[in-house]
Amino acid sequence: MTAGALERLVGRCPAVDALKRRIAQVAPSELRIHVFGETGTGKEQVARALHELSPRRGRRFVAVNVAGFSDDLLTAELFGHARGAFTGAVAAREGYVAQAEGGTLFVDEVADMSPVAQVRLLRFLQEKEYQRLGETTARKADVRVISATNVDLGLCVREGRFRQDLLFRLKDYHLVVPPLRERGHDVLVLARHFLGQFARARGVPLPVLGPEVQRLLECFPWPGNVRQLESEMRRLVVIAPGREVKPEDLSDEFQVPAAVPVGGLRAELLRHEIRILQLALERHGGVRSRAAAELGITRQALCAKLRRLEGGLGARGAILPAPRRHLRAPGAA
């Protein structure tokens, strides 16, 4: 069981090996674990491994992304609702907590919860009981809660956007999932893993990654992390089955100048991220929610990236006004 759960966390770099050891160490406990990592790094995979290595593995693992829920809707989704609790509630419904009874509840993007929702989650964690929306009777719950964010909750607390007491309840132990750009040769290990997986599923010959393509993959900053790499390999299985992949087969984001321009590596990495966001926004006519969905992040996370990049551009460029909100790369005309 241990080997199987950890084998799904593909990678051989020291940071991933250390992460696997920590997962194996704390999974059998009842500690509430908080998983931190950038979007697309595999936080849910880590949570699933924690569940499968725990005594709760015989019960359900239930994942919920709480970003974007209104307070009442989040309450109804997490805790369920009674018949007639609101317009359209024609029957009673159990929530994610009841579905995870005896097992594990994975709560993703907790930093995006409203103050009201934070209070309701805190009360549940403190009392280990909850009420369905529209009911007054308290129900007991036996679930292990694992939470995750792609932002620093400590910083959110200092900025007044997240409750410190809730942070303490969520974070008995902290796991950090490394970004793909810091995992060295794991990029190629994962690329070949995904190519094999998708080629088998389609029943087609395996694409071959030539030396130049390997270099491009390893040098790319991967702002979307493992999720972005997975998507790229899915494309290649369709467009290059059974042959050597050429640089021009890669997505537009990889079509970059051969030499790093003035400004060095930091500026070039910034250009890559800007270009990826720009292309997504262009494809969706500047509609951020749709661009965010394509990139595998929340709208709030996309807006935060836009603000951060706008600050990084400084006097060298600017973000164009909505609705077609584009980024101009530093040094671009």
> What band does 182 get if pLDDT is binned at 50, 70 and 90?
very high
pLDDT at 274: 80
The predicted pLDDT at position 63 comes to 96
pLDDT per residue as tens digits for the range 35-77:
999 999 999 999 999 999 999 999 999 999 998 788 888 888 8
What is the mean predicted confidence (pLDDT) over 254-277?
Answer: 66
pLDDT score at 312: 55
- Amino acid of residue 183: R
Which residues, including other chains, have CB under 8 Å from residue 192's CB and lie 6 or more apart? 209
Rounded to whole angstroms, the Cα distance separating 275 from 252 reads 9
Strands 208-209 and 139-140: unpaired
Task: Evaluate if residue 256 carries a pLDDT over 70.
Answer: no
pLDDT tens track for 68-123? 788 888 888 888 877 766 766 667 788 899 999 999 999 999 999 999 999 989 99
CATH of 264-333, one of 1.20.5, 1.10.10, 1.10.287, 1.10.150: 1.10.10
In CATH terms, is domain 2-178 a member of 3.40.50.300?
yes
Say what the pLDDT of residue 89 is. Answer: 67
Say what the pTM is. Answer: 0.74
**pLDDT score, position 2:** 54
Confidence (pLDDT) at 3: 59
Split at pLDDT 50, 70, 90, the class of 254 is confident
Tell me if domain 180-255 and domain 264-333 are identical in fold.
Answer: no
3-state DSSP assignment of residue 145: strand
Averaged over 284-291, what is the pLDDT? 80
The continuous run of DSSP H or E covering 276 comes out as: helix 264-283
Amino acid at 104: T
Q: Does domain 180-255 have CATH number 1.10.8.60?
A: yes
Per-domain residue ranges of the chain: 2-178, 180-255, 264-333
pLDDT in tens, 200-238: 999 999 999 999 999 999 988 899 999 999 999 999 999
| DSSP secondary structure letter of residue 112 | G
The pLDDT assigned to 213 comes to 94
pLDDT > 70 in the chain, percent? 86
